Structure 1
Amino acid sequence: MNRIFLAALAAALLASQLTSTNAAETAPREPYGIALEGFAYPYPVHLLPVVNDGEQLDMAYMDVAAAQPNGRTVVLLHGRNFPSSYWAPVIKMLSEAGFRVVVPDQVGFGKSSKPTGELHFDNLARNTIALLDHLEINKAEIVAHSLGGMLGVGIARAYPDRLAHLVLTAPIGLEDYRLYVPPTPTEKMIETEDKLTAEAYRKQLQTNYAIKLPAEAITPFIEARFNIKGSPDYPRWLRAFVSSGQMIYREPVAHEIPLIATPTLFIMGADDHNAPGRPLAPEALRSKMGLNAELAKQLAAKMPNARAEVIPETGHLVFLEAPEKYRELVLSFLGR
């Protein structure tokens, strides 16, 4: 049975074409493929061949034209637990403001290939630049969220001439998690993730991300994660997902952020205290982790051209929870 997803994420997602199931709760799930075959995206998806560590892969992306072009392009970088389709309302907002909008799924995520090897931020950065080259885009604005913020930092450091502005939306990686959390074996992480249920994952999202959206607005994220369990390739997806967690831990960017010269705007949710690995940290250290809004302010003060904006009563999904304020901040900043 095909799934039809409701095109709504409360008021913040009126423009979104994300959909949610209308089948009975007791109906069996039709499994997605591990490249999210069967999960609808709001715009056509294209594939770019890339090679990472000798492995031939495909990088999926959406390329949305501007309503009335201003000659500029925004690249949207997604987080770890979300398919890039969740950017739908931001894509619409930017397109209507005159920007071409390029929205990749990084390798290992969404509709892109799941590699057999490990994920690394430098490979993801090179893939993103290869996509810009393929689309003949010399310079772009980068708007990133969560894990995408760590990638955005890597791109700004390695390819500073390729971006004009950097917007870090509720980024993770503002602290070095190795200072708090002991290393965890990959096989142990795979075992833990494999045991996670859909309901436990929903609670995890609501708790870790302080999500203010209605419960039904989170359902597409649950579906995207758990409908792939029926795929015969699920073990490969699971290993790639765990590899992304190890990448966050092993490849910190906090020490590089103050070195970014690109004009940078942090947009933080005041209630977002997400800190990957916190449950594994010694109890005495857990309260010291995830002070993200304060960390953003401290880092911005060290940077040559940056500022931090904190939106009250907002969690990790800033652009969905406070869409009007987010629009105001982003368009004003990109208009500088």
Structure 2
Amino acid sequence: MPQFAVDGAELTYDDEGPRDAEDVPLVFLHGWTANRHRWDHQLAHFSAGRRVIRLDLRGHGASSGSGAPGIDALARDVVALLDHLGVDRFVPVGHSMGGMIAQTLALAHPDRVERLVLVNSISRMTYSRGRGLLMAASTRVPFRLFVAANIRRAFAPGHPREEVRKYIRDSSATPREVVMTLYSAMRAFDVLDRVGEIRVPTLLVHGLHDIQLPVRQMLRMATRYPDAVIRIVDAGHELPVEKPAELTAALDRFLTDPAPEATA
């Protein structure tokens, strides 16, 4: 597994597929407490014909990381890795928190992002007063219980229990400081009033049964995007592992569609 040192972290990544492919590379960004293996299905499919890069974000999976990161810091790590690999233009594909990173990249580097894909992600979290109080209270329970509760509710009902337990174990291995800092960072993330600046073809794929980031919040975001395509899948919040083939098919259709004229 190659690694890249940046700002006190060692990022573990995969860089597969032909370097001379005509299409720009895909860059897969996982979500909170997850790792790059959320994208196994997509890596196997797309790396046959184009360059595919995925990484464990700082403090996640096999990547180390000092300090407590935020969304902007994770986006800077991604840019540093891509610069190291000699990648200029790319298509970020982000799940949940990874979608927040992808939007940050699209806003900060519009000349480098060719298309944008957001999977079970939003531009601003919105809660009722009761839900907000419940989420604040949840941070006071034992750490492993906090992580387990959040991962368990991310899957749609009926998902195999042993697989859910595996993801809970993986997520619980993420350092507490990283988990809690990014939990707060996601709650504070807000680019809803800026997404109209993202003038590239955008795919929004969302699980119908997502209770972490409900569909209605994604739809509110979609109305702000100048050029968005929406796909709703019969899944929960963990769409990349609940319905990997359906997600890959949606990506395939989107990536092979001719790009429309840029919005003036």
- Tell me the TM-score normalized by structure 1: 0.68
Answering whether residue 245 of structure 2 is matched by residue 332 of structure 1, we say: no
Unaligned stretches of 5+ residues in structure 1: 1-44, 229-233, 275-289
Asked whether the equivalents of residues 176 and 252 of structure 1 are also in contact (C-alpha less than 8 Å), the reply is: no
| CA deviation string 1:42-84 (max 9, x = no partner) | xxx2211111xxxx22222111224994443100000103121
Unaligned stretches of 5+ residues in structure 2: 258-264
Answering whether residue 186 of structure 2 is matched by residue 248 of structure 1, we say: yes
The equivalent residue for 2:84 is 134
Q: CA 1:177/1:99 → structure 2, altered by over 3 Å: closer, same or farther?
A: farther
Distance 1:121 1:178 in 2: 24
Answering whether residue 253 of structure 2 is matched by residue 315 of structure 1, we say: no
Asked whether the equivalents of residues 203 and 228 of structure 2 are also in contact (C-alpha less than 8 Å), the reply is: yes
Residue identity opposite 1:334 in structure 2 = L
Structure 2 counterparts to residues 57-136 of structure 1, below 5 A: 57-66=9-18, 69-96=21-48, 98-116=49-67, 118-136=68-86
Aligned length: 256
Residue identity opposite 2:141 in structure 1 = T
Among 293, 315, 326, the residue aligned to 2:215: 293
Residue identity opposite 1:155 in structure 2 = L
Could you say what the CA RMSD is over the residues aligned between the two structures, in angstroms?
Answer: 2.9
| CA deviation string 1:201-258 (max 9, x = no partner) | 1x543324425531222243133234x4xxxxx8xx2112111111112332333333
Residue identity opposite 2:61 in structure 1 = G
1:193 CA drift (Å): 4.4
Q: CA 1:323/1:253 → structure 2, altered by over 3 Å: closer, same or farther?
A: same
Q: CA 1:68/1:49 → structure 2, altered by over 3 Å: closer, same or farther?
A: closer
The equivalent residue for 2:262 is none
The equivalent residue for 1:15 is none
Q: CA 1:293/1:125 → structure 2, altered by over 3 Å: closer, same or farther?
A: same
Asked whether the equivalents of residues 192 and 224 of structure 2 are also in contact (C-alpha less than 8 Å), the reply is: no
The equivalent residue for 1:273 is 211
Residue identity opposite 1:196 in structure 2 = L
Distance 1:174 1:334 in 2: 26
Q: Percent identity?
A: 25
Bigger-Rg structure (1/2): 1
The equivalent residue for 1:303 is 225
